[in-house]
Structure 1
Amino acid sequence: MQLNLEDLRAAFGFGVAGNFAGHLEQAGEAGDFTSVDAPAEAPKGIFPWYVPRDNGFLRLFPLSHERIVLPVSKTPLNLQIEPEVAVLGVVTYRRDGTVDRIEPRAIGAFNDCSIRREGATKISQKKNWGEASKGIARQLLRVTEIEPDGAAATLRLASFLVRDGEALPYGVDSAVADYSYFGTQLLDWVVDRLRHQQGADGTPLEDVGQQLLAAGRPAVVVIGIGATRYTALGETTFLAPGDHSVVVVYDGARHDADAVQAAVAAGAEHELPGASTLRQVVFAAA
């Protein structure tokens, strides 16, 4: 499925926090969720990163197929790739405006690029600083379901930092089915959060369902379903101008991890059959 970015300007973008064991701890964000009541194995909540019609910074369209533009800052900012699977879904609403269900249409490579910003009170404050602050693959994989034993059963998620001509593993190569919540369980949980999650002082979460309603009940949503664990390099290495950020969703039944890394090193990851790939060049703020 070829994606037209312009078609996503009317979509609503949000993410899932804490959907892969160990990521929040590595990102230094686990303490932000101490006030959030959730089972240990469950995601912690959802957060917005693009809200059409918003009056604040979330109205800025952040998606790009090929660039990451660093934010303007007088002090150094620690930006990390957040390798994720994105789900492109169609929303059905109830008469009262609340969400009835979300049906998946495609999945693919996504970079929920984030600032490790001390003092941020909401997750969204780390997520959208303007144009080209997020990434989504041009080529998505068309689906009608995303069950762990279905369309996504053999899919894997890998990511790399390409620096000085070398492709360095940034996230731990992981089975997509290893997300804490996936398939129907994930989508049902997301719908529940859109209906019931509340924002309040002392929690990094917001009332995303109300933001969706205020955005005019968009028919399409883009969901970043959570970042995987980092490698030791990914945990401690931040993006700089000239780097390439690469995220690959690939079929583990057709390619092994070494072949994927070799393709990325050669700049040929887009030639991997059955893969969704995203390569973004990092630019300094203008």
Structure 2
Amino acid sequence: MPFQHCIGFGVAGNFAGHLEQAGEDKDFQAVEVKSATQPKAIFPFYIPNSEGHFLNTYPLSSDTIIAPNDADNLQIEPEVVLKCQVHYSDGKVTGLTPIAFAAYNDCSIRRPNANKISEKKNWGANSKGVSQTFFNIDNLNPGGLIDRFRIASFHIRDNVCHVYGEDSPVVGYSYFHTTLLDWIIDRMNHQQDQGPTENIQTWLATAEYPEQALISIGATRYTPYGETHFLKPGDTSVVVVYDSQAFTAEEIKARAKTLDLNHAAISALVQTVK
């Protein structure tokens, strides 16, 4: 399912403790937030029609990660991604309508001196991951379908499967439901080019106000193993978004070991690192 027509954004700092584990909390010290639980910013990872800019490269793959030549600290970032319809009026975003969700890997380089968040996110083709399996939704109201789902992630090296991220409920995001959508809309209209953040209005105009957006809504916390192990060629990255009414965490772990993840209640993203 290609998404070249969609603009791509991510949410930074929407799961308590992740930025600290990733060593990125210092990057956001100058970013003003209204509360300790509020996400820090949204960032672009793919901008259609931005010819000549690195964000014009389509970075998404459902089966491969190409490791950058200049980084040995590449990490899985297990997330949920929302496919949204974007509504505009006079160049401003007036609404976001979620239409589907899936497993996503916001695979990131840990560059402590990067000027912008996006510089850690898109280093070329096959630098991020999205599952081919999406679940349809018609809203993000409390009690909806997505509330049943959980996020898990695994790292396979030398045929050994390790738990990489904490198995976490999707409703465990700091901002979720309409609170998250309202905040993203506000950031799309008002976020400025300051410190690690970028002016999103400018990017929407560059992309010619696309009708749809892929928005990854934040990475979960790492296990001690995930916090200290980085990807290298030959590894396999696995992100699973699954219905907790169909599977337990232990059942998903067992299935991940054999990559037995083709099921109607699972959105799986399995990527080989090259």
Q: Deviations over 1:217-274 (max 9, x none)?
A: 0111000100000000110100011111000000111100111011111111123x31
Deviation (angstroms), 1:146: 2.4
**Map of 1:97 onto structure 2:** 91
Whole-Å separation in 2 of the counterparts to 1:257 and 1:213: 42
* Aligned residue in 2 for 1:173: 167
Q: Given the alignment, which residue of 229, 235, 250 partners 1:237?
A: 229
Q: What's the counterpart of residue 275 of structure 1?
A: 266
2: distance between equivalents of 1:111 and 1:270? 18
Q: What TM-score do you get using the length of structure 2 for normalisation?
A: 0.97
Tell me by how many angstroms 1:30 deviates.
0.5
Rounded to whole Å, the distance in 2 between the matches of 1:65 and 1:219 is 23
C-alpha root-mean-square deviation of aligned residues, in Å? 1.0
Matching of residue 258 in structure 1 with residue 255 in structure 2: no
Select the residue among 105, 114, 118 that pairs with 1:120: 114
CA contact (8 A) 1:77 1:117 kept: no
Aligned 8 A contact 2:27 2:112 in 1: no
**TM-score normalized by the length of structure 1:** 0.93
Q: 1:20 touches 1:227 (CA, 8 Å); kept in 2?
A: yes
2:122 is paired with a residue whose SS is coil
The answer to whether residue 45 in structure 2 is matched with residue 53 in structure 1 is no
Question: How does 1:115-154 map onto structure 2 within 5 Å?
Answer: 115-154=109-148
Counterpart of 1:110?
104
Letter in 1 for 2:57: L
The answer on whether the counterparts of 1:42 and 1:180 sit within 8 Å (CA) in structure 2 is: yes
What does residue 209 of structure 1 align with? 201
Shift of 1:209: 2.2
Q: How many residues align?
A: 272
Shift of 1:158: 0.3
Task: Kindly provide the CA deviation profile for residues 5-58 of structure 1, in whole angstroms up to 9, marking residues without a partner as x.
Answer: 1xx111100100000000000000111111111021110110000011113100
What is the aligned counterpart of 1:182 among 167, 173, 176?
Answer: 176
| Equivalent position SS for 2:262 | helix
The unaligned stretches of length 5 or more in structure 2 are: none
8 Å CA contact 1:83–1:228 kept in 2: the answer is yes
Question: In the TM superposition, what is the alpha-carbon distance from 1:213 to its structure 2 partner?
Answer: 1.6
Q: CA deviation at 1:148?
A: 3.9
Structure 2 contact 72–232 (Cα < 8 Å) conserved: no
Q: Give yes or no for the alignment of 1:88 onto 2:83.
A: yes
Counterpart of 1:70 in structure 2 is: 67
1:218 paired residue among 191, 210, 219:
210
Contact residue 160 and residue 171 of structure 1 kept, 8 A: yes
Structure 1 regions of 5+ residues with no counterpart? none
Identity of paired residues, percent?
48
Query: What residue number does 1:12 align with?
Result: 7
Q: Does 1:193 align with 2:178?
A: no
The Cα shift of 1:211 comes to 0.4
**1:77 Cα deviation from its structure 2 partner:** 2.4
Give, as a single letter, the amino acid of the residue that structure 1 aligns with 2:43: F
- State how far apart, in whole Å, the 2-side matches of 1:195 and 1:131 are: 28
